[in-house]
């Protein structure tokens, strides 16, 4: 087993018919929903700017949607030099076929060297399909990015073997170098709206016959309480809550604070909360301003998903629980007694 962060290089003879010198530039796929860019897009623009500067290349944002030209200002403000814009009614909602065809066409036409995408539900669907169509690899669920100095390639870092090691992956023989990055891994850059750039409008090549599925209806199955990636306050519960009914205490505190509800893997595996709420290695990576860990011991897999939070408040009756090692504030006590007291206190402050 290689040590954490180590790069293991395997040399083998390859014969790839590709002129890598033709591929230049760093692209960020700007995922949007209802005309609003997802936070992960802004986070990746900030990191993409750093990569582009290190490589001496330009940074471009790719915007696909219906009536989304207004997003270009935000993309430029967050560091992009150029925007590739594709608009049409076929992009009003995410559609696998329409978006795959479009992004694939953009890549084959303009030949970027690097593409960054968010490891969201849509990004995890779109990224592998596009990578397969253009004949390249894709590193999924990255938690860090950098430049490998000996080769000048992007170094994609992601957890491996259940989080026991961090694998750093290179893509030396194929282009573009592609990867999905978990939301909240990087902080959003400070926007500079004095920045401007070039907008390249590209005509959609999607035909009605290309679309194998159509959206019949949109059913909202989850409220803001489980929108973990965008939340500034998250209240998470774990096995220490003892039974599913006690998650009502988590929900009450989250409601009082205007936050989202999270859960540990143990709580999700027990059926106490749907997987949409899971925080951790195999769940969602979050980085809110305040994270409450209630009845959560602090296994490494959970810490991997929330350790970038600005402030961590831990509540656990075990004073030696690992969660206290990363917490800014710790309360040693019965979570079933502490949560109602906290909720009452915050409600009083709000009143």
Q: How many CA atoms lie within 13 A of 274 on its CB side?
A: 8
* CA–CA dist 302, 263 (Å, integer): 9
Q: State yes or no: 298 annotated in a binding site.
A: yes
Q: Is 128 helix (H, G, I), strand (E, B) or coil?
A: helix
Q: State yes or no: 204 annotated in a binding site.
A: no
Q: State yes or no: 32 annotated in a binding site.
A: no
Per-residue burial over 194-229, b = 16 or more CB atoms within 10 Å of its CB, e = otherwise: eeebebeebebebeeeeeeeeeeeeeeeeeebbebb
Q: State yes or no: 282 annotated in a binding site.
A: yes
Query: Do residues 62 and 29 lie in contact, with contact meaning Cβ atoms separated by under 8 Å?
Result: yes
Q: State yes or no: 301 annotated in a binding site.
A: yes
DSSP 166: E
* CA–CA dist 284, 305 (Å, integer): 6
Q: State yes or no: 77 annotated in a binding site.
A: no
CA angle in degrees (0–180, nearest 5) for 273-122-78: 110
Q: State yes or no: 281 annotated in a binding site.
A: yes
Q: State yes or no: 302 annotated in a binding site.
A: yes
Which helix (H) or strand (E) element contains residue 160? strand 153-160
CA distances 220 to 153, 197, 217, 224, 226, Å, are 41, 37, 10, 10, 12
Which helix (H) or strand (E) element contains residue 306? helix 300-306
Q: State yes or no: 264 annotated in a binding site.
A: yes
* CA–CA dist 181, 144 (Å, integer): 8
Helices (H), 56-201: 71-77, 96-110, 121-134
Q: State yes or no: 297 annotated in a binding site.
A: yes
Q: State yes or no: 265 annotated in a binding site.
A: yes
- Structure tokens given for 269: 């595996």
Backbone φ, ψ for residue 312 (5° rounding) = -115, 125
DSSP 279: B
Q: State yes or no: 309 annotated in a binding site.
A: no
Residue (of 131, 160, 124, 156) closest to 142 by Cα position: 156
Binding site as annotated, residues? 239, 264-265, 278-282, 295-302, 316
Binding site as annotated, residues for FAD? 239, 264-265, 278-282, 295-302, 316
């Amino acid at each position: 087993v290689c040590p954490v962060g180590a790069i293991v290089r395997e040399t083998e003879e390859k014969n790839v018919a590709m002129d890598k010198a033709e591929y230049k530039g760093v692209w960020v796929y700007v995922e949007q929903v209802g005309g609003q860019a997802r936070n992960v897009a802004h986070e990746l623009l900030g990191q993409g700017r750093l990569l582009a500067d290190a490589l001496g290349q330009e940074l471009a944002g790719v915007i696909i949607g219906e009536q989304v030209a207004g997003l270009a200002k935000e993309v430029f403000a967050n560091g992009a030099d150029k925007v590739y814009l594709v608009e049409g009614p076929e992009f009003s909602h995410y559609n696998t076929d329409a978006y795959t065809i479009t992004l694939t066409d953009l890549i084959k036409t303009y030949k970027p060297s690097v593409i960054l995408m968010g490891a969201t539900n849509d990004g995890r669907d779109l990224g592998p399909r596009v990578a397969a169509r253009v004949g390249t690899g894709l590193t999924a669920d990255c938690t860090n990015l950098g430049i490998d100095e000996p080769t000048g390639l992007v170094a994609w870092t992601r957890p491996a073997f259940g989080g026991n090691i961090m694998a750093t992956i290179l893509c030396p023989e194929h282009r573009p170098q592609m990867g999905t990055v978990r939301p909240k891994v990087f902080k959003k850059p400070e926007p500079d709206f004095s920045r401007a750039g070039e907008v390249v409008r590209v005509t959609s090549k999607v035909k009605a016959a290309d679309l194998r599925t159509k959206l019949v209806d949109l059913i909202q199955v989850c409220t803001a309480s489980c929108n973990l990636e965008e939340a500034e306050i998250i209240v998470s519960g774990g096995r220490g809550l003892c039974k599913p009914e006690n998650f009502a205490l988590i929900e009450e505190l989250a409601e009082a604070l205007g936050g989202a509800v999270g859960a540990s893997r143990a709580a999700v595996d027990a059926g106490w909360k749907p997987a949409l709420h899971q925080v951790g290695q195999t769940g969602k990576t979050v980085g809110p301003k305040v994270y409450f860990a209630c009845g959560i011991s602090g296994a490494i897999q959970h810490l991997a998903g929330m350790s970038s939070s600005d402030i961590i408040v831990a509540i656990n009756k075990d004073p030696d629980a690992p969660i206290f090692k990363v917490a800014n504030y710790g309360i040693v006590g019965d979570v079933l007694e502490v949560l109602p007291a906290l909720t009452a206190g915050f409600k009083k402050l709000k009143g």
